[in-house]
Amino acid sequence: MRLGHGGADGARGPAAAATGSPKASEWSLAQLRAADVRVLSVGFRLATANAPFCRNTENAAGMTLHHIGQYPDAAAARATFGFASDYAVLALVADGPAARAGLRTDDAIVSLDGLPLVAPAEELAAIDQVAAYRPIAWADARLRAALDKGPVALGILRGGKPMTVTITGTPACRSRFELRPSGSYGASADGDIVGITVPMLAFMVDDDELAAILAHELSHNLLEHRRRLNEAGVQRGLMQQLGRNARLTLATEIEADRLSIWLMANAGYDPQGAVRFWTRYGRQRGKGIFSAPTHYRWKKRVGLFEDEMTRMAALGSDRRSWHPPLLAAPPSPLE
C-alpha cells in the first residue's frame, strides 16, 4: 500500500470518497498486505508475460518495499511488520526473482550494493510527492536502476542478524503496481505507476477481473498516453470533458481497452474477465465516467472487448502469434 501518491491522468490526490465504499481504514494492516501481494502478483504476471512485445522494459524483482514513514501509526506498523530498519519488504511474488533469491517479507533492508539505504535530504526534497511517500519513491528508483544494470546485493536484517541476498531481475514491461488507500472506486496510470484503490479491488470477484483493470491501466503506460495527450495539448480537469480534449481522451481509452485484452491473454488470464467486470460494474455503478464523453458506456465497452477477442481467436491457438497489434509499431501522435 502506498500512502499519499498522486492520482490518475494528471490529477493530484484521491477523489472524493464514495458513499458506502470500503475504506483502507476499515482493513487491518495484515489485510492490506494481502491485498498488496495480490496486486503485485497479478501486475508482475502481466508485465513479465508481455515483455517480448514492450518497447520499454526493465528487470523486475517481484517485490514491494515500504517505509515506516508511510504509516500514520508507526507503533502499529512496527507491531505488524517489525521494521528493524526504516525500509522493509512488504510483499513478494511467489516464486518471483526476489523470493527465489531467498528474500522474505518483513526482512529489513539496510543497504543496496554495499551502500546504506539512506536518502539524502536534498534528493528527497526534489521528489514531486507528498513527504511521507518520498523515501519509498527514492528507494524504489534506486532499486529499479540497480536491477537494470544486473544482479543487486541487498543487505538485510533478519531476526537481528545481518545477511546479504543477491537478486537478478527478470524482463518486464516497465511499470510498477500498487494499492492505494483511497475511499473511492478507481484505478489509474501516470506513465510509470499503475494504481488501484481499495474499494475497486474489493469489487473484484477473481484475479481475471483484477487483471482486466490492471491491464487497462498498464496499456495506458505502454501506449504512452500521458505523453501523447500532453504533446497534443489536451487540457486536464473540467476542460478534458469538452470538444477535442474529450475526443482525444476517448481515443486513448479505446486503445487501452483494446490492448488490455491481448495483455490478459498473453499472461494466461481469461479476457472474459473484462466482460464480466464491466458488465457488473456498469449495471451497479454505471454513472460517473460512463456518462462522460471521455469514456464509452459500459455496453459499448463490452462490445469492444468482444471484438478484440474475435480478432484474437482468428489467429489460432498458438499464442506465439498473439503480438498485440497496438504494440507492433511506435504510437503515433494523437490528432
**Are both 186 and 323 inside the same structural domain?**
yes
Within-domain flag for 51: no
**Are both 276 and 307 inside the same structural domain?**
yes
Contacts of 33 (CB under 8 A, 6+ apart): 1, 80, 81, 90, 91, 105
Dihedral sign computed on CA atoms, order 6, 287, 280, 314: negative
**Final residue in a domain of this structure, among 138, 172, 206:** 172
Within-domain flag for 157: yes
**What is the extent of the structural domain holding 183?**
175-327
**Are both 131 and 268 inside the same structural domain?**
no
Please give the Cα distance from 321 to 154 (Å, whole number): 38
Amino acid 317: pLDDT: 78
The pTM (predicted TM-score) of the whole model is 0.91
- The DSSP secondary-structure symbol of 268 reads T
What residues pair up with 111 in beta bridges, in sequence order? 116, 155
**Final residue in a domain of this structure, among 121, 145, 172:** 172
**Final residue in a domain of this structure, among 172, 207, 228:** 172
Q: Please answer whether residues 146 and 109 qualify as being in contact, where contact means their C-beta atoms are separated by less than 8 angstroms.
A: no
**Are both 124 and 188 inside the same structural domain?**
no
**180 φψ region: left (φ > 0), alpha (ψ -120 to 50), beta (else):** beta
Amino acid 38: pLDDT: 97
Please give the Cα distance from 126 to 1 (Å, whole number): 22
Q: What is the pLDDT tens value at each position of the chain, 335 positions in all?
A: 443 333 333 332 333 333 345 566 778 999 999 999 999 999 999 999 999 999 999 999 999 999 999 999 999 999 999 999 999 999 999 999 999 999 999 999 999 999 999 999 999 999 998 999 999 999 999 999 999 999 999 999 999 999 999 999 999 999 999 999 888 999 999 999 999 999 999 999 999 999 999 999 999 999 999 999 999 999 999 899 999 999 999 999 999 999 999 999 999 999 999 999 999 999 988 665 556 889 999 999 999 999 999 999 998 877 767 899 999 999 999 98
Q: How many domains does the chain have?
A: 2
